[in-house]
């Protein structure tokens, strides 16, 4: 969503339902996915998605176009995830239905989901924005309201922790069978 979306932004700010529908169509999967990874819970991910889009519509007049609609929506999603997550802070556990999502047999996916869920909040947000959502460090910084250097540091710390756990001896051994090639 860049300069060629100015028309959409303008129509969205005016409250045109068609513009909102278009925005929803473009972004709902990404927001849901992000909410799912943040919360590790399908029900929370649905709440995050619904609340993100309804809040975006409510606050559409405050969107000044200095950032992209995309990063603005992620920013709202982070707020909503915090809001919803606060209620369940002591109940955080991985929703079993999440790890089987999509039927992927990707390498150690279950372990990876668990590891991500165990990251500190800020590192988890930075990591998911970059690795899962494909945002640049600058864009992730816009979402989080933090400098690029902080995002870089958070992604590095999160990645280091995940690498350490993924490739540690206590985990599944690094073998050709696991990776598909020699390690």
Partner 1 sequence: MKCEQAQKLIDASVDGELTTPFRGPFESHLKACATCQTELARASRADAISRQLADVSAPDLRARTFDALANLEPSRIGPLKEIMKTTLGIRLGLTTALAAGALAIAFVPRMASANSGRELWAKMAKSAASIHAVHITNVWKSDGKKGQTEIWTDGHSIRMDEADGAIRFSKDGKFYETRRNPDGGQGEAVASAASIDPAIFTLPVQMKMLSAGASEPLDFGTTRLNGVSYRKVGIVGRSENERYTFWIDPNTNLPAKKVDETLRNGQWVEIGYQTFEFLEGLDPALFNVKATLVSDKPSGSGLKVSGGG
**Minimum CB distance to partner 1 smaller for 2 or for 64:** 64
Site residues (CB under 8 A) for partner 1? 15, 24, 28-29, 32-33, 36-37, 46, 49-51, 53-64, 66-67, 72, 75-76, 79, 82-83, 86, 101-102, 104, 106-109, 112, 116, 127-128, 130-134, 136-137, 141-142, 144-146, 152-153, 155-156, 159-160, 162-163, 166-167, 179
User: Which DSSP string corresponds to 70-108?
Assistant: HHHHHHHHHHHHHHHHHHTGGG----HHHHTGGG---TT
Contacts of range 57-66, beta carbons closer than 8 Å, 24 or more positions apart: 57/15, 57/20, 60/12, 60/13, 60/15, 61/13, 63/9, 63/12, 63/13, 65/6, 65/9
> Could you report how far apart the first and last alpha carbons of the chain are, in Å?
40
Output the smallest distance, CB 31 to partner 1, in A.
Answer: 8
* Residue in the block written with tokens 């690795």: 131
Please answer whether residues 39 and 85 qualify as being in contact, where contact means their C-beta atoms are separated by less than 8 angstroms: yes
Residue positions counted in the chain: 183
Output the smallest distance, CB 125 to partner 1, in A.
Answer: 10
**Minimum CB distance to partner 1 smaller for 4 or for 62:** 62
Output the smallest distance, CB 63 to partner 1, in A.
Answer: 5
**Minimum CB distance to partner 1 smaller for 19 or for 142:** 142
**Minimum CB distance to partner 1 smaller for 7 or for 35:** 35
**Minimum CB distance to partner 1 smaller for 3 or for 66:** 66
Output the smallest distance, CB 164 to partner 1, in A.
Answer: 9
Output the smallest distance, CB 169 to partner 1, in A.
Answer: 13
- Please tell me the distance from the alpha carbon of residue 69 to that of residue 179, in angstroms, as a whole number: 38
């Amino acid at each position: 969503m860049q300069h060629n979306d100015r028309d959409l932004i303008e129509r969205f700010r005016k409250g045109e339902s068609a513009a909102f529908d278009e925005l929803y169509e473009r972004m709902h999967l990404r927001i849901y996915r992000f909410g799912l990874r943040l919360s590790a819970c399908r029900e929370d991910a649905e709440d995050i998605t619904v609340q993100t889009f309804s809040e975006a519509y409510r606050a559409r007049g405050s969107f000044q176009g200095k950032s992209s609609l995309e990063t603005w929506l992620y920013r709202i999603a982070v707020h909503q995830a915090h809001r919803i997550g606060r209620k369940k802070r002591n109940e955080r556990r991985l929703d079993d239905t999440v790890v089987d999502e999509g039927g992927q047999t990707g390498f150690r996916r279950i372990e990876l989901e668990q590891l991500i869920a165990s990251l500190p909040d800020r590192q988890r947000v930075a990591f998911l924005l970059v690795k899962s959502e494909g945002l640049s460090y600058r864009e992730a910084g816009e979402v989080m309201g933090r400098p690029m250097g902080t995002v870089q540091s958070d992604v590095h710390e999160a990645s280091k922790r995940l690498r350490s756990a993924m490739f540690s001896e206590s985990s599944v051994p690094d073998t050709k069978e696991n990776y598909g090639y020699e390690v």
